[in-house]
Amino acid sequence: MVHTRRPLAACGMTGRRGRRLRCAVVMLVMVVMVVMLAWGPFVAGGRSLAAGFDELDTDRDAFTPATNTVVPGHLLLESSYAWIDNRGTPPTNSFPELLVRIGATERLEWRLGFNYEEGSGGSVVSAVEGGEGLFGEELATESNILYGVKLQATDQAGWVPRSSVLVEGFTPVSGAVWGTEPVVTYVFGWELPHEWRFDSAIRYAYADSEEGRFDKWMPSAVLRIPVTERWEVHGEWFGSWTGGLADDKVRPFVGPGTHFLLTPNLEIGCRMGWGLTDDAASFFVDSGLGWRY
């Protein structure tokens, strides 16, 4: 059977049920954002947030998560939309890539999230993907919830980096694969002269697919360069290596990204990248925002 690409409608094209789910998710995210934009300034006015444009350190800004945790008593909401141009198969749409980070203590945060994917090949370009469930050339849908914690392990002191450990679970709520996937991430980095920052991470997932369980390793490294008080750019390399599948995948990517602080508590950003092997998607673009209150 020959498959051709065609534009995706605003609320999906994989059947009535898929369209309803996609519309419901989009509308829910829009309502949440509108409420936060309207209510957030009143909340922030009663709290001791920094007056300047200090970095939000969102995890969605790059594949490599931030090395720090959210300040206790505050919440950081992150959301984005990714379009992935798979090689020879229909593209993947991934949204809302919702991640809610809740500061619990000086070194601990709680994490909750949700994502929906439509396409072929699965999403391996963001921190809210949960496996390799979308194999094959035909369009498929998949959604999962994320839950876990992030613990800051060390502060930077000389050659000792600032580092954190993330322990998360991804549980599918729709799609062909239903096994919960545990994921562990170790991220570390240094602040360099001129406020440049270099961060690196290694992520391991005991992932699930239609073939069964397999190992997935996802290393990454990013160099972040501030341009102004509000504007930062970065360059990143990351990838995904599987083990235990009949046809293991090697999917490295490289690309730039940027973000801009509209207000001290609202960030918008975009990143893109190119796949370096035939297993990897040829191109992706990911745009989103971060909101702190």
Residues 6+ apart with CB under 8 A from 168: 111, 146, 147, 148, 149, 182, 183, 184, 185
| Residue in 291, 286, 274, 252 with CA at minimum distance from that of residue 127 | 286
* Cα gap 44→58, rounded to integer Å: 18
The per-residue pLDDT for 121 is 64
Q: What is the pTM of this model?
A: 0.81
Residue 25: phi and psi, rounded to 5, are: -65, -45
Q: Which residue has the tokens 């945790």?
A: 69
- Residue 48 confidence (pLDDT): 40
- Backbone angle region of 164, left / alpha / beta, with phi > 0 → left and psi within -120 to 50 → alpha: beta
Of 166-180, 254-268, 271-285, the least confident: 166-180
**How far apart, in whole angstroms, are the C-alpha atoms of residue 66 and residue 259?**
14
The pLDDT value given to residue 140: 79
**Which class for 16: exposed (0-12), middle (13-18), buried (19 or more C-beta within 10 A)?**
exposed
The pLDDT score that the predictor gives to residue 89 is: 85
Q: What is the mean pLDDT of the chain?
A: 82
Cα 255 to Cα 125: distance, rounded to the nearest angstrom: 11
Q: How far is Cα 107 from Cα 71, in angstroms, rounded to an integer?
A: 8
The half-sphere exposure of 25 on its side-chain side, counting CA atoms within 13 A, is 26
CB 90 within 8 A of CB 3: yes
pLDDT tens digits, 168-195: 999 989 877 778 899 999 999 999 999 9
Best CA proximity match to 267, nearest among 249, 290, 284, 248: 290
Report the C-alpha gap between 207 and 137 in whole angstroms: 21
Assess whether pLDDT exceeds 60 at residue 46.
no
Domains of the chain: residue spans and CATH = 16-292 (2.40.160.40)
Average confidence (pLDDT) over 200-211: 86
At 132, the pLDDT band (50, 70, 90 cuts) reads: low
**What is d(CA 258, CA 62) in angstroms, rounded to the nearest whole number?**
9
Q: Choose between 142 and 260: higher pLDDT.
A: 260
84-118: per-residue pLDDT in tens? 999 888 899 999 999 999 999 999 999 999 999 88
Confidence category of residue 56, pLDDT binned at 50, 70, 90: very high
Per-residue confidence (pLDDT) for residue 67, from 0 to 100: 97
